[in-house]
Structure 1
């Protein structure tokens, strides 16, 4: 099994890259999706978050009110660290479960937004970084996701810098251009990943 860490700044286009990799045959372990699962109503994760941040972070239907929680943690690094200390171990356990189910020959791609920030690169056989300039990220967040420029800049500032991400990359996908330039790059990355997986699985 080849364990790949996939990361990129907000608005860099990481979701599109992971979608393409899955279409080629990768097994995706999506940290964001798992992070949502572990705080669904009735989970110990949600109970812990409410205990720490209060019932004001719940919506009327009992689900986590993400914007309300986001407003608290994105403005305060200590509160963000507290939230991460609850959620990350739960995400790690679920990720390991999915990995075990993937099989020995799989290319398992872990989609990890905060890979650089949390020093997780050593956990993977190699790291793929989806790269875009800060100007491109900002444009996508405002134009495609409807964020205010202030909110978009705050989200970007809360993440690692572009230079910090590139420093941990084994392979880089340049997603500064239009989508049609992305697919050939991701296909080339997939060829490299499958070649490495085959070498890793070959007998000595």
Structure 2
């Protein structure tokens, strides 16, 4: 079993996998877990940091894809021109990024080995098969009309972009079926926070 699959039954902390489709409020819920004292590993945030100004992945990415970085870190448009539509080049990029994220995750697990529960914030938990490597799946969900309203209010978002993103994600109904627990964000922030607090208390009691 790899470090990404270290589970509570092996003596480590209980690992929660938090996920939710676009516009469901996953980031808000993740911050509520963090406020409740649950350590969170956000792989996307780690990648952004490692690819940002002075990031540790910048030298390797620049060496593999010349002209794809600048003093602000990775130039996403420039990097995209190297890898878009080219599976071999995309795999080359992933071979740089994935091991680095794995090392960060392993360190996170080691740092929190004595913690009762920890949380992995994984947007594509089901799509990437990550639900098989956690102890508990928590899905953040809201009514479709509320999801649509939230997403279309984002700067630069269009109906076409929204529908394209939805097409790439596991449908909310399927996520809910695969969940151990569901956090409903179609309510007030206070009600959502109460759901999170109750769930944290329940999981800690285990």
TM range (shorter): 0.7 to 0.9
How many angstroms apart in 1 are the aligned matches of 2:89 and 2:184?
29
For structure 1, the 5+ residue unaligned runs are 197-204
Partner of 1:24: 36
Deviations 1:99-123 (A, max 9, x none): 2101313321111111111101121
Question: Counterpart of 1:184 in 2: which secondary structure?
Answer: helix
Runs (4 or more) in structure 1 with deviation over 4 Å come to 41-44, 47-54, 67-73, 75-81, 83-86
Alignment partner of 1:175 is 2:147: no
Structure 2 residue runs without a partner (length 5+): 1-12
Asked if 1:155 is matched to 2:165, the reply is yes
Q: Does 1:108 align with 2:110?
A: no
TM-score (norm 1): 0.78
**For residues 183 and 94 of structure 2, what CA distance do their matches in structure 1 show?**
27
Q: Does 1:8 align with 2:34?
A: no
1:97 aligns to what?
Answer: 107
Q: Tell me, yes or no, if structure 1 residue 128 matches structure 2 residue 123.
A: no
Aligned residue pair count: 193
* RMSD between superposed Cα atoms in Å: 3.0
SS at match of 1:115: coil
TM-score normalised per structure 2: 0.77
Provide the rounded CA distance (Å) in 2 between the counterparts of 1:178 and 1:70. 39
Contact 1:6 1:130 in 2 (8 A): yes
